[in-house]
Amino acid sequence: MFRGTRRLALVSAIATAAMLLTACSGGGAPEPSPTSAGEPDPDATLHVGLVLAPTNFDIRHTSGAALEQVLIDNIYEGLVTRTPENEIVTKLASDYDISDDGLTYTFTLNEGITFHNGTPLTSADVVASYETVRTDPTVQGNAEFADIASITAVDPATVVIVLNTPNQNFLFSLTGPAGLVFQSGDTTDLQTAENGTGPFTITRWNKGNALTLSRYDAYWGDEAGVAEVDVQYIDDFSAGVNAAIAGNVQVLTAVDPNLVSQFDGTDFTLTTGRTTDKATLAFNNAKAPLDDPRVREALRLAIDREALIEAVGAGQALYGPIPELDPGYEDLSDVVSYDPEKARELLAEAGQEDLELTLTIPSFYGTTVPKVLISDYEKIGVTLEVEPVEFAAWLQDVYTDHDYDLSFVLHVEPRDFSNFANPDYYFGYDNAEVQELYARALATVDPDDSAELLAEAARIVSEDHAADWLYNGATITAVGPEVSGFPKDSINSRLDLAGVTVSAEK
């Protein structure tokens, strides 16, 4: 995430993170999904409360979790997709083959696939969709397709994609907006309507407030478990809880941990789901005194993560740039711990006993994290001035001009380790060994070998104290007793509703 060529994605992702910042929970394994008390009713309507409403349906030209959450897998599909655990699985493709050299991808389409207007899908639609992504810089995922050499329809059911160089992340990129398949030559106004291949169609839209997904009866795969999904967008967390308790929604996502107790005595089950949200305390590695690794390490040692997570009500501790759901994750808690005394010693060694720093933070993140940091840093003799700014100012000053000391942002996208292999990124972190390891990880055909290289690079980044990762976010979902199969993990960005059922009885 957050590369210059994807500035709009940055805006949407951080805005999403801001809305969901309080909707996180303490660590621990996710609870089991609740099971229904009765037989599933295929004619039922599922009532779901979400937070972020899409402003349009054009996922090709509009980025952000609000669109991906509701459209991918429900309305639009790609050759492959990913599970809530970020595992890549087939979708429109029945299978695929990757050549030994990692350059040629051959996909075989499932049979009987139609768009919602009844037109059969063929390999020509895949080629047209992907050529548009590859050649049009205004389309989401254009940068991810930059290294494609050719896209060919071998026959109506077979697509061959050839890369110029191996790319371990290419298949994963096909699970996002870049990999979605649209009808060739379609004239549907994607701003206000859709024509996908998924298990649902959109039959009603009250912009900013609600939309209705209806089962697509001619769907090529297993039919959706409910006849309709009534989505209500509720951006006030208290109002969302009230709507659930009043029976207006059967599932409420992004439950504020401070409001969890209001479900006591109700028949809702609360589940905790993992995400790839990385609450990142950015250090400007290219600016003194933060160009001194002793200073950066001291700032990490000063933070009482347990107390911070308790204050935020969010997630689990994270000590490196790769979260648990991404390849290359390793528990790096051995790198740094809470040790204010050692922090003071390092600052003295670096000649920074009376250090004054500024934390530039988008104002919508609130005051909880800054207050904890001010308190923790005061204990080691560091004065932290907090400068809340409008997001546009943050984009210009921090992201573009790199004019900052410290900053705080939730980096939400999966597999974004490339930020630390890019010396031009706003972190200002420049390590040739990390860059070389990351390049090898991308070019390595074997995914296990790639993950090992990423883990090696991530450990170096953490040992260099290139940033601090305050916590790995999580989401709380309240699920009614009549609902089964509602996803838990990664639902702030991906919400496949086809397998959800509602029973006739509670």
Cα-based angle 421, 424, 430 (whole degrees, multiple of 5): 50
Please report, as a single letter, which amino acid is at residue 300: R
Q: How far is CA 342 from CA 322, 366, 465, in A?
A: 26, 30, 15
* Cα R_g (the chain), whole angstroms: 23
The residue behind tokens 């992004």 is 254
Give, as one character, the DSSP assignment of residue 223: P
> Can you give 25-76 as a three-state secondary structure string?
CECCCCCCCCCCCCCECCCCEEEEEECCCCCCCCCCCCCCHHHHHHHECCCE
How much of the chain exceeds pLDDT 90, in percent? 85
Cα 50 to chain centroid distance, Å, stands at 16
- How far, in Å, CA of 163 to CA of 178, rounded? 15
Record the tokens describing residue 366, joined without a space. 């609130």
DSSP 273: E
What's the confidence (pLDDT) of residue 14? 53
Q: Count of alpha carbons within 13 Å of 474, Cβ hemisphere only?
A: 27
Highest mean pLDDT among 82-86, 162-166, 391-395: 162-166
Tell me if 358 sits within 8 A of 405, measured CB to CB: yes
Per-residue confidence (pLDDT) for residue 364, from 0 to 100: 82
Two structure tokens written together for 134: 């590859």
User: Is pLDDT above 60 for 36?
Assistant: no
* 43-70 pLDDT, tens digit each: 999 999 999 899 999 999 998 888 999 9
Q: Evaluate if residue 31 carries a pLDDT over 80.
A: no
Which tokens belong to 136? 């049009």
Can you tell me the mean pLDDT for 194-220?
A: 97
Question: What's the pLDDT score for residue 437?
Answer: 98
> Which CA distances in Å does 472 have to 9, 288, 292, 317, 410?
20, 28, 26, 6, 9
Structure tokens that stand for 249 in this block: 């929604």
Q: How many CB atoms lie within 10 A of CB 71?
A: 24
Mean pLDDT for the stretch of residues 344-366: 94
Using DSSP bridges, classify how beta strands 356-362 and 383-389 pair: parallel, antiparallel or unpaired: parallel
HEC profile for 98-158?
Answer: ECCCCCEEEEEECCCCECCCCCECCHHHHHHHHHHHHHCCCCCCCHHHCCEEEEEEEECCE
Spell out the residues 6+ positions from residue 331 whose beta carbon is closer than 8 angstroms to its own. 319
- pLDDT at residue 167 in the model: 95
Nearest to 314 by CA among 17, 26, 16, 20: 26
Q: Cα(226)–Cα(486) distance, rounded to whole angstroms?
A: 12
pLDDT at 29 over 50: no
Q: Looking at 209-325, list the stretches that DSSP marks H as alpha helix, in order from N- to C-terminal side.
A: 237-245, 293-301, 305-312
Q: Is pLDDT of 455 > 60?
A: yes
Structural tokens at position 11: 């805006």
Distance CA(284)–CA(249), nearest Å, equals: 44
Q: How many CA atoms are closer than 13 Å to the CA of 296, on its beta-carbon side?
A: 26
Helices (H), 21-49: none
Q: With contact defined as beta carbons under 8 Å apart, do 494 and 274 qualify? A: no
273-292: average pLDDT: 96
The answer to whether residue 402 scores a pLDDT higher than 50 is yes
Instruction: Select the more confidently predicted residue: 29 or 59.
Output: 59
Quick: pLDDT tens for 151-162: 999 999 999 999
Cα-Cα-Cα-Cα dihedral sign, residues 32, 52, 244, 241: positive
How would residue 20 be classed by pLDDT, with cut points 50, 70 and 90?
Answer: low
Nearest alpha carbon to residue 129 among 179, 55, 93, 195: 179
What is the share, in percent, of the chain residues with pLDDT greater than 70? 92
What's the rounded Cα separation, in Å, for the pair 407 and 385? 11
Residue 430 has pLDDT above 80, yes or no: yes
Cβ count near 209 (within 10 Å): 11
Say if residue 12's pLDDT is above 80: no
Which one-letter amino acid corresponds to residue 402?
A: H
Please give the Cα distance from 227 to 212 (Å, whole number).
Answer: 10
Q: Is residue 291 a contact partner of residue 285, using CB atoms and an 8 Å limit?
A: yes
Place of tokens 């790609």: 78
pLDDT (0 to 100) of residue 18: 53
How confident is the model at residue 22, as a pLDDT? 44
* DSSP letter assigned to residue 396: I
| pLDDT, tens digit, 9 for 90 and up, residues 131-186 | 999 999 999 999 999 999 999 999 999 999 999 999 999 999 999 999 999 999 99
Sequence-distant (6+) residues with CB within 8 A of 159 are: 79, 106, 107, 109, 123, 126, 127, 151, 152, 153
Query: Encoding tokens for residue 189?
Result: 């106004």
Average pLDDT, the chain: 92
Q: Collect all residues with Cβ–Cβ distance below 8 Å to 458 and sequence separation of at least 6.
A: 320, 321, 322, 328, 329, 330, 332, 417
* pLDDT of the residue at 73: 98
Q: How far apart are CA 243 and CA 286, in angstroms?
A: 48
Omega prior to 481 cis, within 30 of 0: no
- Average pLDDT for residues 376-405, to the nearest whole number? 96
